[in-house]
Structure formats: structure tokens, C-alpha cells
Amino acid sequence: MNLVPAAPLDVLRTRTSEKWTEHPADVIPMFVAEMDYPLAEPIRAALHAAIDRGDTGYVSSSNPVFSAFRDFAGRRWSWDLANASFLSTADVSMGIVEILRAVTKPGDSVVLTEPVYAPFYDLVTEAGASALVIPLAETITPSGTIERRLDLDALEDAFRNGVRAFLLCNPHNPVGLVHPREDLETVARLAAEYSVTVVSDEIHAPLTQPGATFTPYLSVSDDARATGFAVHSASKAWNIAGLKCAVMVAQAEHTAAVLEAMPLEVSWRTGQFGVLASVAAYRDGGAWLDGVLASLAANFDLLDELLAEHLPGVTWTRPNASYLAWLDFRALGWGDNPAERILAEARVALSAGIDFGAHGAGYARMNLACAPGVLTDAVRRIARIPRQR
């Protein structure tokens, strides 16, 4: 497999996106979920062609992203979407909010399984609901790493006690957990029994590593299709978040009716360039994506080596999906927010673990979609921080 090399640092620093403008030039940015790889050639060509023909208007009502995504999901995950209903919007977060607004009433409880993608808390609030936090279940392996899974007993208790929805992160950010099919089947059975709607954020699904199996929530059973929605986007896997396109998926008559009833503006928020880039990604971006996955696997190996050599007190569990490392700094005594000290003293910007919920205290999230030299420099810088004040 050919690796996809990261763009040179001098090129990256000419980018004007959040990752490269939030901090001064002496900081290594490894926080926000942007990748350092050059744009996939099929996407580059599609966007240049659109500019050449002045194709910068509104998104067509016969949105081509739906068929492109349906075909990609069939090839990649054997997910049959022949009879599915789709609606596009600007991004996955907007899709989540609109679905939650439609299926909950003000004040209803929505389950979040923390540590989880930090904006989830705000999305639930924006939808008018309230978050009920259930931590992921943790088991310490013989090697000392932490294995995480959904706490199905706690979920059943919450569902039984009146929760109206479950915002599922599948795969789970920030820990890179690819939920086992049997766990998703149990969630679907419980959701059907207690009339809970499951909204599955599957934005990291294309970034599932070879050897792991991503299971779309809606694919697991009739119960899942009856209780759930999925929200997908090419934005994370092909680094096109700024182009604004996401796809909401329903596979039951009543869930399709929810999408159908949404205001027209929900779909009009979709970006034309987002559609064109997503179609190119889903149709022709598979080889590039496989190269990125190989590059990420190499960086996972490198991080193992670097931590063992330079930061033996820091542990992590290798992710099965995404390009994010969930690093446990608690043994170093750097407090609840080690990212704050790392930025100040090492000039490396990580995401604060505490932002992902109370169970993220003492952790930080590191973006590994970068050049091996950047990752090496970052870990060595962090290692130079005194272990204790």
C-alpha cells in the first residue's frame, strides 16, 4: 500500500484554516480534526473544474451525493441503502441538531457516552434537550491499556427511566472505538423496547483501520432501522470540512417522514462545493483514503515507539478508527488539563481532554494525521517538560 505523505510544513503554514491560524508559528498544531495531507486528486480536479465552469450556485434538488454515498457504503461496508431516504445539510452537527429537534421535546433527556466529542453537549442544548451522561465502560487489559465499550446495563436503566434519544458516536471520538455489532444490536433492541430514538454520528466511519469492521447502526436489525437515523459526511476522511456537506439517512417509513418534514432550509444549507467534493471522494477517492489509512497506521506504530522511549508514563489505546490519539497523562501529575501545560511549556497544541466530559480529566487528544517528523518533534518537546512542578 502506498502511503500518502503529509504536505511540507512550509506549505501547511500557508493554509488559512483553524488548525494553522489559531496559534503562533512556534506552536505545533495537533488539536482540531484537520489532516495535513494534500487534497485527494479526484477532489482537486472536481473543484477546479467547477471553478472553470463557474459552477458556484445553489445545490441541485437532485443531489448527486446521495447515490455516490449509497454506492460507497455498499462497497465499503456492504450496507444496502437501495430503499433508504436521504437529506443533506451543511455538516453532521447540523444534521444531529435537526433530528434531535424533531424527535424530542424541550427538556427531554438525550444520552451521551463520555468521554465523547466535545460539541455533542452543545448540540443537545441547541436542540432544546438536556444531556444525560453515561460513561463508557472500562476494562484494564493485562498489558495495562484500557479497553472501552458501551455500558449496556446503564443504557438500559436510562432508557427504562424515560430517556427519549441516544446520540451515538460510531466510531467513537475521541477514543477510536469501533462498536462491536453485538453491542449495536443490543442498543437497537433496547431502543425499540423503550421507544428511544438513536442518532448515530458516523463521520469517522471511512477512517476505520483495516482489520477492524465498522458496522453502520441502521444495518444491524429491523429494530435499528425502526429506531434510528445515521449522519455521514466525507469531511473528516477526505479533509473537506470547510466545504459543508453531510447526509442524513433513514431506513424506515416513519423516520423517512421525519426527514421529509424538515424545513427546506435544512437542505439548502448544503454547500455546492461540498457536494461536488463529496461525490468525487465517494466515487473516486478510495485509493487515496487507503493510502491515508496506511500512513495513519505507520504513525500509530511510531507513537507507540516514541511514548515508550520519551514518555513512558503516558498511555493510550490504539484506535481502530479516526486519526486521533487519546493520551492518558494522569501518571505525570499534570492536573486535569495537561493540554494547557503542554501548550505553555512545549508549544504543542492538543485538545483538552476535560472538554470531552468529566471523564476526560487528565487526558489530551492528539491529531496524528501529520508527517512522522512532526509527530516525533511534538513528543520530544512534551518529554522535555518536568514531570512534576
What nine digits make up the cell of 43?
477532489
Give the Cα separation of 174 and 367 in Å (integer): 10
Identity of the residue numbered 183: D
Give the Cα separation of 27 and 98 in Å (integer): 37
Same fold: 9-39+286-383 with 49-284: no
DSSP state of 171: S
CA 255 to chain centre: 23
∠ CA(88), CA(223), CA(357), 5° rounding? 65
Q: Mutual orientation of helices 372-383 and 286-310 as an angle, nearest 10°? A: 20
Burial label, 174 (beta-carbon count in 10 A; 0-12, 13-18, 19+): buried
**How high is the pLDDT of residue 143?**
77
Whether 202 contacts 135, CB under 8 Å: no
Give the Cα separation of 7 and 153 in Å (integer): 46
* Sequence spans of domains, the chain: 9-39+286-383, 49-284
Other CB atoms within a 10 A radius of the CB of residue 308 amount to: 10
What nine digits make up the cell of 261?
418534514
Whether 84 contacts 67, CB under 8 Å: no
Give the Cα separation of 74 and 82 in Å (integer): 9
What nine digits make up the cell of 265?
432550509
Whether 354 contacts 336, CB under 8 Å: yes
The model's pLDDT over 221-278, given as tens digits with 9 standing for 90+, comes to: 999 999 999 999 999 999 999 999 999 999 999 999 999 999 999 999 999 999 999 9
- With b meaning 16 or more CB within 10 Å and e meaning fewer, what string describes 74-92? eebbebebeebbbbbbbbb
**How high is the pLDDT of residue 145?**
79
Give the Cα separation of 30 and 224 in Å (integer): 36
149, β-bridge pairs: 137
Q: What is the CATH number of domain 9-39+286-383?
A: 3.90.1150.10
**How high is the pLDDT of residue 1?**
67
Quick check: helix, strand or coil at residue 121?
Answer: helix
Q: Which residue has the cell 437515523?
A: 229
DSSP state of 370: S
Domain 49-284: which CATH number of 3.40.640.10, 3.40.50.720, 3.40.50.800, 3.30.300.30: 3.40.640.10
- What is the bridge-based pairing of β-strands 348-349 and 28-29? parallel
Give the Cα separation of 20 and 17 in Å (integer): 6
Write down the pTM of the prediction. 0.97
Q: Report DSSP letters for 236-249, one per residue.
A: TTTT-GGG--EEEE
Low-confidence ranges of the chain (pLDDT < 70): 1, 388-389
The model's pLDDT over 21-43, given as tens digits with 9 standing for 90+, comes to: 999 999 999 999 999 999 999 99
Q: Mutual orientation of helices 181-194 and 152-160 as an angle, nearest 10°? A: 10
